[in-house]
Amino acid sequence: MSLLVHLIYLSPLVAGVGILLGLPARRTAAIAAVIALASALIVFLGYDRASSGYQFLSSLPLVTEWDLKFLVGVDGLSATLLLLTSIVALASVWLAPKVQEGENGYYACILFIAAGAAGAFASLDLFFFYAFHELALIPTFLMIGIWGSGNRQSAAWKITIYLSIGSIVLLVGLIGLYLLPSPAQRTFDIVKLQQLASTGAFSGPGSRSVYFLLLLGFGTLVSLFPFHTWAPQAYASAPVPVTMLHAGVLKKFGLYGLLRVALPLMPAAARSWAWLLLILLAGNILYVGLATIAQKQLDLTLAYSSVMHMGYIFLGIASYNVIGLNGAALLMFAHGLSIAALFAMSGELRKQTVTLNYLDLGGLATNMPTLSFVFGLATFASIGLPGFANFASELLVFFGAFKNSTPGAGFNEFQVVGTIALWGVVISAVYMLRAYRAIFMGERQARWQMVKDMPLSLGWTVMLLVAGLLIVGLVPRTVLDAVEPGIRLFVK
């Protein structure tokens, strides 16, 4: 079983190297992605939900002096995110276009991003947890710079500088974390670190500053307000597979880091910084939400909306109780699938119409019935319609925020921000319905006569994503029953 966990990140990694060495790009990539998805699915289903904790562990000691080793294993949360990674990776490989120049490099980069994300989710060692994420970031920068569209150089420059600074802040925080316990106890092993936490090793005076650094570092990677402005331009410029993988999967690394490392190790520090997180996430929801309404083309609307929706996940995290944290975890999965599906279809639209400007488009539903149907499903998923996973998660996030209150004692900060978040649901409906109407509804226009429905391959890909949203949305326990025991371990 632990071999399967290794396969999830190894098969894209090895395939990526193989493609660089000359293997046929598309076929190799597809096979690797299918192997990874099958492994991830078996791991997800095979994870024993009755006994919580990490399973399928395997380790390779590297530097015993520092207690640094290559330790891999999963719990319900990482198994869920590995499944998300493999689904989105397969989808993005599947619909990657024919590339004129450097096709092998293109596919290898996609696979490296997927491998890096999967490796970060599977690692239970701080060093590799961080290093795998870096492995995923570099091909992201490269792909935007080389195969991006529009002002790709400036977009690549911005995301590189921005996320690098975020990563360095995070790195300093992680090093601080490593140094917090007494020298004899220091370890990179996340499992051991979590056991150490209960002895109070991380409750010292430095823990507040370390948590602050982790919050800023992880937060920047997740586009926490006001460190979010790298996202819109990068997502609009990046090739579709990169946008899907980054917005859908890689961005979740920061949230995963908070849930895996920062919160369990330093609960007191997390609670003491909750006020700051609440203010910033309110910025994500209200301010970025309003900025989303002002966008006039689909790719920017989706990019901004993706920044906005991070606010809900942060709210679940800030609430720091079983309900909110489960909601956050479920929303990571739901948002990953829905935003990947939306960006995939927006890419197809751009391919056919060149423009994504609302004023230019209109009435496309007549020509593209299937695409507009699936796009509609993904639209309503993203604005939290019951039946989709996004609703179940947002519901939990709201109840999580309102859990932190005394009955009848008036609104505290959690309820104030919870109320703002609730209004955010109206805001998302405004911009998504406006976009849907502007693109697909209304009278058929002569200039879009030649537009065709989406090709079958794209159809199956987005159907896969939407089906995932529906299955988890109708039966949220598929994911929650796996995630909940792990969360209960560190939230009393």
Exactly one of 75, 125, 189, 484 binds other proteins (CB under 8 A); that residue is 484
Given candidates 434, 448, 455, 478, which one binds other proteins under the rule CB under 8 A? 434
Q: Which is nearer to other proteins, 144 or 344 (CB)?
A: 144
The site for other proteins, by CB under 8 A, has a size of: 78
Segment 288 to 317, residues that bind other proteins, using CB under 8 A: 288, 290-295
Question: Would you give the binding string for other proteins spanning residues 101-130, x where CB under 8 A is met?
Answer: --------------------------x---
Name the token pair of 314. 């942060």
Q: From 86, 138, 91, select the one nearest 114 (Cα to Cα).
A: 86
Q: How far is the CB of 27 from other proteins (least distance, A)?
A: 26
* Of the candidates 397, 382, 381, 373, the residue with the CA atom closest to the CA atom of residue 470: 381
Nearer to other proteins, 33 or 473 (CB): 473
Contact 155, 148 (CB under 8 A): yes
Kindly tell me which of 363 and 455 has the beta carbon lying closer to other proteins. Answer: 363
Q: Which residue, 56 or 188, is less far from other proteins as judged by CB?
A: 188
Q: For residues 56 and 218, which CB has a smaller minimum distance to other proteins in the complex?
A: 218
CA torsion through residues 291, 388, 331, 342, sign:
negative
Q: How far apart are CA 463 and CA 436, in angstroms?
A: 18
CB of 31 to other proteins, least distance (A): 27
Site residues for other proteins, 348-367, by CB under 8 A, read 363, 365-366
- For residue 354, the one-letter residue type is V
Q: Tell me how far apart the alpha carbons of residues 364 and 474 are, in angstroms, rounded to a whole number.
A: 30
Site residues (CB under 8 A) for other proteins, limited to 140-159: 141-142, 145-146, 153-154, 156-158
The pair of three-digit structure tokens given for residue 194, joined into one six-digit string = 């979590």
Interface residue with other proteins, options 100, 408, 456, 492 (CB under 8 A): 408
- In the complex, the smallest distance separating the C-beta of residue 359 from other proteins, rounded to whole angstroms, is 15
Q: 42-81 mask for other proteins (x: CB under 8 A)?
A: ------------------------x---------------
Of 134, 360, 413, 453, the one binding other proteins by CB under 8 A: 134
Query: Is position 27 an interface residue for other proteins (rule: CB under 8 A)?
Result: no
Q: Please, what is the Cα angle at 352 between 346 and 353, to 5 degrees? A: 85
**Distance, CA of 47 to CA of 53 (rounded, Å):** 10
CB nearer other proteins, residue 24 or residue 206? 206
- Is position 488 an interface residue for other proteins (rule: CB under 8 A)? yes
Residue 187-226 contact track with other proteins, rule CB under 8 A, x = bound = ---------------------------------------x
362 in the Ramachandran plot: left (φ > 0), alpha (ψ -120 to 50) or beta? left
Using CB under 8 A as the binding rule, the residues of this chain from 315 to 344 that contact other proteins are 322-323, 326
Name which position in 94, 162, 256, 273 contacts other proteins (CB under 8 A): 162
Binding mask 371-400 for other proteins (x = CB under 8 A): ---------x----xxx---xx--xx-xx-
Show the site string, 224-253: x = touches other proteins by CB under 8 A, - = not.
--x--xx-----------------------
Tokens of 169: 């802040």
437 near other proteins (CB under 8 A): yes
Phi and psi for 349 in degrees, rounded to 5?
A: -60, -45
CA-to-CA dists, residue 354 to 95, 348, 448, 450, angstroms: 18, 10, 11, 13
Contact 36, 93 (CB under 8 A): no
- Residue of 20, 62, 430, 464 that binds other proteins (CB under 8 A): 430
- Closest distance to other proteins from the beta carbon of 368 (Å): 12
